[in-house]
């Protein structure tokens, strides 16, 4: 769990330049400004722009960050399109597992979940989801979380994306299903209707995990 939290902190640091690139036109200093915002201030603002806070109502935002983020979360659930999540495949990286151990681990981590996806004016995605899968030990694994994806058009209606997910998870092999938090990177390729997602879980797990999201009523 500690390695996941350390990886999460590093991930948010890496996400900041990505979000800055998305908002570069809006973040330019005015001509009359004598002093540009500090790197730390710009990084915090960039990371905050990937949270649910910006899609919250102004009245809620004026009450504080948590109020604005909670209102944004409710707006994603209210206004987003329904998702069906389909799991999935897990690749246990060879450097972390012996051949015998890899044969014992479950790679076909099948499962399903539901969620909501809201696409903003920049074609970025905000995703709320719940997911139940068969983990590497053939035991149920439960998770719920939030994801943010910056997306770019690759070819016609094909888009590639990069972002992160923050989640709460419960597993049999970690304190016997006591929920714990985590943050992980996300990458995607697909259309507005269906995309294949992948993530890397470092540390003790050392896996690549793949799943798909089918979005209903998406244009």
Which of the following is catalytic: 43, 136, 143, 195? 136
**30 in catalytic set:** no
Task: Report how far residue 130's alpha carbon sits from residue 121's, in angstroms, rounded to the nearest whole number.
Answer: 25
Tokens representing residue 19 in the block: 């979000």
Burial class (CB in 10 A: 0-12, 13-18, 19+), 101: exposed
**Cα 147 vs. chain centroid, distance in angstroms?**
3
Which of the following is catalytic: 43, 49, 83, 92? 92
**136 in catalytic set:** yes
**92 in catalytic set:** yes
Which of the following is catalytic: 49, 83, 135, 195? 135
Task: Report how far residue 163's alpha carbon sits from residue 126's, in angstroms, rounded to the nearest whole number.
Answer: 10
**CB half-sphere exposure, 56, CA atoms < 13 A:** 23
CA distances from 182 to 20, 43, 98 (A): 23, 20, 26
Catalytic site residues? Answer: 92, 135-136
């Amino acid at each position: 769990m500690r390695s996941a939290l350390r990886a999460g902190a590093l991930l948010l640091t890496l996400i900041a330049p990505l979000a800055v690139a998305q908002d570069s036109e809006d973040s330019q200093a005015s001509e009359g400004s004598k002093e540009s915002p500090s790197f730390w201030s710009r990084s915090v603002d960039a990371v905050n722009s990937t949270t649910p806070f910006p899609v919250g109502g102004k009245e809620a935002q004026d009450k504080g960050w948590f109020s604005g983020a909670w209102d944004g979360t409710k707006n994603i659930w209210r206004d987003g399109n329904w998702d069906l999540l389909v799991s999935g495949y897990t690749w246990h990286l060879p450097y972390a597992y012996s051949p015998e151990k890899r044969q014992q681990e479950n790679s076909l981590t099948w499962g399903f979940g539901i969620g909501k996806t809201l696409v903003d004016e920049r074609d970025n995605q905000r995703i709320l989801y719940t997911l139940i899968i068969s983990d590497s030990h053939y035991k149920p694994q439960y998770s719920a979380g939030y994801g943010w994806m910056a997306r770019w058009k690759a070819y016609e209606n094909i888009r590639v994306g990069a972002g992160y997910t923050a989640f709460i998870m419960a597993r049999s092999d970690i304190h016997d299903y006591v929920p714990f938090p985590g943050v992980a990177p996300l990458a995607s390729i697909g259309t507005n209707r269906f995309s294949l997602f992948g993530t890397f879980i470092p540390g003790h797990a050392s896996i690549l995990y793949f799943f798909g999201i089918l979005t209903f009523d998406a244009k």
